[in-house]
Amino acid sequence: MPGPIQSLSRAAAILRLLAGGERRLGLSEVSTALGLAKGTAHGILRTLQQEGFVEQDPESGKYQLGAELLRLGQSYLDVHELRARALVWADDLARAAGETVYLGVLHQQGVLIVHHVFRPDDTRQVLEVGSMQPLHSTAIGKVLVAYDPVARGELGDGPYESYTLRTLTEPADVDAECSLIRERGWADSVEETWEGVASIAALIQDRRRNPVGAVCINGPVERICQDGFVKPSLVASVRSAARAISRDLGAGRF
Amino acid sequence: MPGPIQSLSRAAAILRLLAGGERRLGLSEVSTALGLAKGTAHGILRTLQQEGFVEQDPESGKYQLGAELLRLGQSYLDVHELRARALVWADDLARAAGETVYLGVLHQQGVLIVHHVFRPDDTRQVLEVGSMQPLHSTAIGKVLVAYDPVARGELGDGPYESYTLRTLTEPADVDAECSLIRERGWADSVEETWEGVASIAALIQDRRRNPVGAVCINGPVERICQDGFVKPSLVASVRSAARAISRDLGAGRF
DNA sequence: GGCCGTCGTTCGACAATGTCGACCGTCATG
DNA sequence: CATGACGGTCGACATTGTCGAACGACGGCC
């Protein structure tokens, strides 16, 4: 039976639809958006509701995502081997660099943040775990594109969305940058996604040298850069953290 | 068509199974655990994999939860109205009390933590968002049981699991405690779930006075209690935070 | 090294199952 | 008061998912 199960694919589409729209959606909105009969959409929604993947606002009758997804998402993190091995190294890196640390993996056409260490001294930060970032304009994203053919494939052939004046929007530019990244072994992103923010990333490989993710530090340009370039000491910290995690993954087999 | 969609329920069961077992599961394990034909389980797993809800380890062929769940779980948090309104109040409470703050809602037979503010001065804490806690032995859980008939129903009629010597395991004891909680308007839990840990919780209601969740502070017994009782000043802080969040929810209509 | 057991996967037939579109009651609106 | 849109239900149909057997590959054991 090589072919997806129809009702399951539709259920997944409904969940993604609900995740996309910021507000709750009504049954009719869902059914028309996906081109389904109302009865069909209702049956799927009812099942998803029973399972806790979807909740229904009792007074408006509209639907939104359910709590079970949060619980399962947490379970995903619990099992995630890369994340488990990286926890302590990410912590050390954040302390050494004094900056925010992200750990990201390729997911669909973006970078999924699976771990986030807050900047040590600072407060009132928003946890980014579970959120997506672009591939072509972040340090983690560019590392993955440089080393993972799958990521390069997902990126497609632009032009890519521009977030600041420094965002690379042309495939040729990104590919050139990736050659550079492969040559020197690390990536940076200075105000390519957010104004005033710079980051440095390095690749994490598993025991068979497959790229499985990347780690980066993230902070205000003034602290990350000096004389227009990222500080070499920070680059060294990030690279050594990435190597440490990769080594840890390699040893994990036994 | 009042009845759940079979394939969807089965898919949900598979996801929960994968979330439960700490390690990856093979196809045969899944199919036998749920009493499904191997072909059937495979079809569901293949679809879940295409949708990103499940990932397959390429070398062992075993399955685990997928990244899409993390993303959707995050989206759930984004839409969560209670959490959005409570963010700032929880932060203030943590600062004022100098302790960890949890925000929890009823989910199935437990408390789902939807927000977690780290203790202000401390470091190296594990984020509990997305994890479940018992209903009968935590402050948040007992608040919900006391005020929400649904929660009381989910609790069932024990005996409940015992975690420490102080855990209430008999329904009668829990119900008596709940009467007290309703009388005075707050709940505590001193070493009922974890040795050395005490917490104080208060109810959060929506604009129609329905219980929607609870907020608590959580810390070592020595700091939360004095002379064998929880400190009244902390109780006052928690209750005022809960009231503030409830008020905020009530105003949210306009 | 050859055998056996188990694994994940594929296949085809069957009927159980999910799908469709029309219909119902309710609510808010004009 | 009539209208339209909403969420939800129902029953007939055939599409669709399910089952069990069979396949090829891998790994361990004698």
User: Residue A245 CA to D30 C1' — how many Å?
Assistant: 41
Report residues 40-79 of B contacting strand C, contact meaning Cβ closer than 7 Å: 42, 45-46, 56, 61-62
Residue A205 in tokens: 């490989």
> Residues for chain B: how many in total?
254
Query: pLDDT for B167-179, tens place per residue?
Result: 999 999 999 999 9
User: Of B202, B176, B198, which is closest to residue B187 (Cα–Cα)?
Assistant: B202
Average confidence (pLDDT) over B118-135: 84
Instruction: Point out the residue among B5, B53, B127 whose CB comes nearest to the CB of A47.
Output: B5
The DSSP result for A147-186, as a single string, is H-HHHHHHH-S-PPP-SSTT---SHHHHHHHHHHHHHHT-
| Strand partners of residue B100 | B218
* B214 and B151 Cβ atoms separated by less than 8 Å: no
Chain A residue with minimum CA distance to B123: A120
The answer to whether some atom of strand C lies closer than 7 Å to the beta carbon of B39 is yes
User: Residue B161 CA to D13 C1' — how many Å?
Assistant: 51
DSSP H/E element including B205: strand B197-205
User: Residue A15 CA to C7 C1' — how many Å?
Assistant: 33
For residue B214, which phi and psi values (nearest 5 degrees)?
Answer: -155, 155
Q: Residue B21: its pLDDT value, please? A: 76
Query: pLDDT for B52-102, tens place per residue?
Result: 999 998 778 889 999 999 999 999 998 888 898 899 999 999 999 999 999
* A101 and A90 Cβ atoms separated by less than 8 Å: yes
Whether residues B120 and A123 touch (CB distance < 8 A) is answered with: yes
Shortest CA gap A44–chain B (Å):
7
* B128 and B141 Cβ atoms separated by less than 8 Å: no
Q: Residue B3: its pLDDT value, please? A: 74
Q: Distances in Å between the alpha carbon of A59 and those of A56, A63, B121, B208?
A: 9, 11, 42, 11
DSSP H/E element including A84: helix A81-97
Per residue in B101-116, is it b (16+ CB within 10 Å) or e — as a string? Answer: bbbbbbbeebbbbbbb
* A92 and A241 Cβ atoms separated by less than 8 Å: yes
Whether residues A11 and B16 touch (CB distance < 8 A) is answered with: no
Query: pLDDT for B185-241, tens place per residue?
Result: 999 999 999 999 999 999 999 877 889 999 999 999 999 999 889 999 999 999 999
Nucleotide with C1' nearest the A42 CA: D8
Q: Residue B115: which pLDDT band, with cuts at 50, 70 and 90?
A: very high
Measured between alpha carbons, how far is B190 from B102 in angstroms, rounded to an integer? 16
Chain B residue with minimum CA distance to A90: B124
Report H helices in B60-195.
Answer: 67-79, 81-97, 139-147, 149-155, 171-184
Please report, in tens digits, the pLDDT of each residue of chain A (254 residues total): 577 899 999 999 999 999 987 778 888 888 888 888 888 889 999 999 999 999 998 778 889 999 999 999 999 998 888 898 899 999 999 999 999 999 999 999 999 999 999 887 766 678 889 999 999 999 999 999 999 999 999 998 878 999 999 999 999 999 999 999 999 999 999 999 999 999 999 999 987 788 999 999 999 999 999 988 999 999 999 999 999 999 888 754 43
Q: DSSP state, A254? A: -
Give me the torsion for CA of A24, A29, A35, A40, rounded to 10°. Answer: 80
Q: A127: exposed, middle or buried (C-beta count within 10 Å: 0-12, 13-18, 19+)? A: middle
Measured between alpha carbons, how far is A170 from A158 in angstroms, rounded to an integer? 6
* B157 and B174 Cβ atoms separated by less than 8 Å: no
Whether residues A24 and B79 touch (CB distance < 8 A) is answered with: yes
Domains in chain A, CATH or no CATH each: 6-70 (1.10.10.10), 80-251 (3.30.450.40)
User: Residue A58 CA to C28 C1' — how many Å?
Assistant: 17
Q: Residue A240: its pLDDT value, please? A: 94
The answer to whether some atom of strand D lies closer than 7 Å to the beta carbon of B235 is no
Q: Residue B251: its pLDDT value, please? A: 52
Q: Residue A252: its pLDDT value, please? A: 45
* B7 and A7 Cβ atoms separated by less than 8 Å: yes
User: Of B196, B240, B107, B90, which is closest to residue A69 (Cα–Cα)?
Assistant: B107
Per residue in A233-252, is it b (16+ CB within 10 Å) or e — as a string? Answer: ebbebbbebbbbbbebbeee
Measured between alpha carbons, how far is B42 from B95 in angstroms, rounded to an integer? 50
The answer to whether some atom of strand C lies closer than 7 Å to the beta carbon of B12 is no
Measured between alpha carbons, how far is B115 from A19 in angstroms, rounded to an integer? 19
Q: DSSP state, B231? A: -
Measured between alpha carbons, how far is A204 from A111 in angstroms, rounded to an integer? 14
Q: Residue B253: its pLDDT value, please? A: 40
Measured between alpha carbons, how far is A10 from A38 in angstroms, rounded to an integer? 13
More confident call, A181 vs B1 = A181
Measured between alpha carbons, how far is B17 from A220 in angstroms, rounded to an integer? 43
Q: Residue A253: its pLDDT value, please? A: 40
Hey, is the C-beta of A29 within 8 angstroms of any chain B C-beta?
Answer: no
Q: Residue A123: its pLDDT value, please? A: 65
Per residue in A138-148, is it b (16+ CB within 10 Å) or e — as a string? Answer: bbbbbbbbbbb
Q: Residue B252: which pLDDT band, with cuts at 50, 70 and 90?
A: very low
Tell me how far the alpha carbon of residue B149 is from its chain's centroid.
Answer: 17
The answer to whether some atom of strand C lies closer than 7 Å to the beta carbon of A38 is yes
Q: Residue B125: its pLDDT value, please? A: 76
Q: Residue A1: its pLDDT value, please? A: 55
